[in-house]
Amino acid sequence: MFNAGKLTKTMLLGCISDKFSPFGKWDPPICALPKFWEIWPKTILIRNIQKLVTINERFIKIIGIVFIIFMVLLSIPISFLDKKMGGAYGTVNQNDFIDNYFGNITASANLSRAYPPMPIRAKNPVSVDKEKLGRLLFFDPILSGDNTISCAHCHHPDLGFTDNRALSMGQGALV
């Protein structure tokens, strides 16, 4: 007698296969997917990565919420910082405060004195034309060796004609 066998649908690890089983139930299933022990470490890794991504997404959301709360709190005016502390802080003139606070220091060190008068030579009197020429030459780079820098490049009038450096740079940053 001829055993025609049996056509069955078998499912193993998500692999459904139609197979002809001439030997009944004990025929091993044929499947295109890898074996269970081959894919198990990969599924653990994928699950861990999914958990890690979920944790990272939660962390980013928490950081975003904390940042938004921080910005909202910064934008709210804090009225208790603006309350009156007593005294006449709003009416004090800054120059009066500096004079009163530092007055003893400047008086004791004789710092409030005026500049000494410039010596004027009898043979070379000061004139407006000489002052204009001096100002023009001071800010003109034509007096430098290579016509690139002027006297005012290092000697700043706002700084008492100093360069405000501990060491002189010189031309081309050479000392």
pLDDT of residue 129: 92
Report pTM.
0.32
pLDDT of residue 45: 57
Could you read off the pLDDT tens digit of each residue along the chain, which spans 175 residues? 444 444 444 444 444 445 555 555 554 555 545 555 555 555 555 666 666 666 677 788 888 899 999 988 887 776 666 666 555 555 666 667 777 777 777 677 666 667 778 788 888 888 899 889 988 888 888 888 888 888 888 888 777 788 777 777 666 655 4
pLDDT of residue 2: 43
CA separation for the pair 169, 163 (Å, rounded): 9
CA separation for the pair 101, 130 (Å, rounded): 42
Interacting residues of 144 by C-beta distance below 8 A, sequence separation 6+: 150, 171
Domain boundaries, the chain: 1-33, 34-77, 128-173
CA separation for the pair 72, 112 (Å, rounded): 50
